[in-house]
Structure 1
């Protein structure tokens, strides 16, 4: 499916058969999509004036998310893999020359779809604030409302970093994001959403491309700091435990987009090379790439503050489906519960399915997948289970990551033993 993405003036040149995507507007074009209108307003209200190249990166990310929402997986040949053609308007076309194939490859890794990406001139920057300012932050950090990002904020603060928190808002997390940013003394807090709006009732729910948008917003914020204006490189922190970052397929049936890749070292490495090619002085960092979630909890620099706030954090992959309550049995919930157990940290989270021993094995799909992974490692070895998960030119610490994955599976295994899940 083809999409042409940019301001309304650019969309007017839409080619036949292409779905128009109007960026930084709340007005949905006929037969098309709008995206990013509220995000541009949020940046302007904070008084920030990011680098133009960073806005172009956000334009690309919004375009990818709009396409991701619109193209149904169940209508593809194999019921999953889609073919998407993007034409995106940017402000400085020369910066994007030669990057189309690399960007398409990066998106393919992220979503396991086939992408074609082209760029054209003709983009307009979103309206600038009347009194622009530069943030005093020395870094930007993703603050999702999850436990990992909370620990990351706490560690940065106690380590003396003055971070600009960047949150992508979803129902159920917005208030927590504000509370965490205030309690951990973020210098500024940018809360944004893609606000993709379509005339169709259907929305594809897998939405793997959102990962690019999360990071693009953080890069955007980093370029609006005094540190960036002074010519320095500004860190952007993606605080994700290494087990979920690599996210090895628990079973062969979970290969591909069923395993998210938001913070996978290959993806972050590819995106870093794109930022470097765009001459954006931003460095992507995951300080927890070699730690399990249990280690993150155990090593948190302010355990008292973590004990106060941890219960408010969100980990569940089905949080909205269960009325803003953790289900307790999806993989993210399982990793959370195993981490608390491993760290010896009291878990006061309210789980819809609390006592896992009282449910039939057929209801515990994710836990049974963990059990099968444990059996495979015992019978065939750790490397057979890891498979190709660490095969990347951007992975320079494969030994440390391999050891971390073994510890992470061990944390999960201990949780299974507690509840007698085999």
Structure 2
């Protein structure tokens, strides 16, 4: 296993270090000793704007998420024996390690499911401390959560846009929680400004930094996202006399399940960021350590097309929907590619909802993509899946991505939404001239 050793401050980093060990200063800012990584200074700044000292369990979970992000970033998959599944031994100092030691095995298993790596976690005391109330009181600008009744993960994508609109239409007032990666903040701001109600917003960027190479697959990014959401949800709970607060994770059912389109995509090569098994596992951990947060995906039984269809008659929705970002490759030139799996599902959803898709993709014509051996991998996989679906055992197919809920209604909902999502893709491909 590769060891990643985290520290509360640069003064805790030993002068003598093994070459293969990676040392990381959590919430570190400024110059670090040679070869030492840092991350999370912006996260600490964001937490200090919540208005009061955060519950220790929520802050320690944030610290765990910082450490996991560090390991997932600084240890390259290409150095693993199979060039994918890493062995990661992670030492994390916490302010109160007791509750987390009790759930260590459950955390390791949840992370294994999420990233496909073998995780070994060690929790120690004397970890980073949450911002003091005296420091919080000195902030000129703080996040006003007094009108918020829930927290909602808000990527600025189409699913989170619909998810927040639905909550607002039902009389809710969620606080929006965002990863503010470089380039993302602009379209997140534009999407938030398009909402009919102004919502409180929390955004942060862990910004892992060091002198070595970095891994880009980032299978644990949703773990970090949940930690942000849990922090904001707990803060709202503290305002509301400790009552349990909903943490909404809006993601359409097809993407949430993300069952492999082909045999080559089985396992963690397909992301599991909002898979129901992962979210259920994290809920059990939250309950065990006393985080007053209930994780819920309100779109889990809806296809992306069904989500859009409910808002299709609103011209303001259509105008903003095309400005959202679904593509994982858009940062190359701030243009969505139009040919990756998320883009194809997005395009199929506009078609299913009868909304003109004026997004402006890099690859507009699917027939051209299909003829290009260097670009057609995702499209060919989707085409294979839609051809396979009519004779496939859908339940067995979905189970390849991970366990399904035991509750019969939830389980059937997962199976049914996957079949409907594949049908949306089939209809779109046929309309695009790819039978």
TM tier, shorter chain? over 0.9
**1:135 matches 2:145:** yes
Q: 67, 71, 75: which is aligned to 2:75? A: 71
Q: 277, 297, 310: which is aligned to 1:266? A: 277
Question: Who is 1:2 aligned against?
Answer: 3
Question: Who is 1:409 aligned against?
Answer: 422
Question: Who is 1:192 aligned against?
Answer: 204
Question: Who is 1:330 aligned against?
Answer: 340
Residues 240 and 263 of structure 1 are in contact (CA less than 8 Å); yes or no, is this contact kept in structure 2? yes
Q: 288, 292, 296: which is aligned to 1:281? A: 292
Q: Deviations over 1:92-125 (max 9, x none)?
A: 1221132111111100000001100111111132
Structure 1 residues 227 and 300, CA, compared in 2 at 3 Å: closer, same or farther? farther
TM-score normalised by structure 2 residue count: 0.91
- Supply the RMSD in Å over aligned alpha carbons: 2.1
CA distance in 2, matches of 1:53, 1:187: 25
Q: 363, 383, 403: which is aligned to 2:395? A: 383
Structure 1 residues 310 and 301, CA, compared in 2 at 3 Å: closer, same or farther? closer
Matches within 5 A, 1:111-126: 111-126=115-130
Larger deviation, residues 280-289 vs 123-132: 123-132
Question: What SS does the corresponding residue of 1:225 show, helix, strand or coil?
Answer: helix
Unmatched 5+ stretches in structure 2: none
Matches within 5 A, 1:290-301: 290-300=301-311
Displacement of 1:169 in angstroms is 1.1
CA distance in 1, matches of 2:76, 2:122: 22
Q: Alignment length, in residue pairs?
A: 420
Residues 314 and 326 of structure 1 are in contact (CA less than 8 Å); yes or no, is this contact kept in structure 2? yes
Structure 1 residues 119 and 14, CA, compared in 2 at 3 Å: closer, same or farther? farther
CA distance in 2, matches of 1:220, 1:302: 36
TM-score normalised by structure 1 residue count: 0.94
Larger deviation, residues 376-385 vs 30-39: 376-385
**1:173 matches 2:173:** no
Larger deviation, residues 169-178 vs 113-122: 169-178
Displacement of 1:140 in angstroms is 0.5
Matches within 5 A, 1:20-419: 20-27=23-30, 28-45=32-49, 47-128=51-132, 129-130=136-137, 135-136=145-146, 137-184=148-195, 185-200=197-212, 202-225=213-236, 228-300=239-311, 303-321=314-332, 323-359=333-369, 360=371, 362=373, 363-389=375-401, 391-392=403-404, 396=408, 397-419=410-432
CA distance in 2, matches of 1:257, 1:11: 35
Displacement of 1:385 in angstroms is 3.1
Displacement of 1:48 in angstroms is 4.9
Displacement of 1:282 in angstroms is 0.2
Unmatched 5+ stretches in structure 1: none
Residues 243 and 408 of structure 1 are in contact (CA less than 8 Å); yes or no, is this contact kept in structure 2? yes
CA distance in 1, matches of 2:388, 2:34: 52
Displacement of 1:57 in angstroms is 0.5
Displacement of 1:361 in angstroms is 5.3
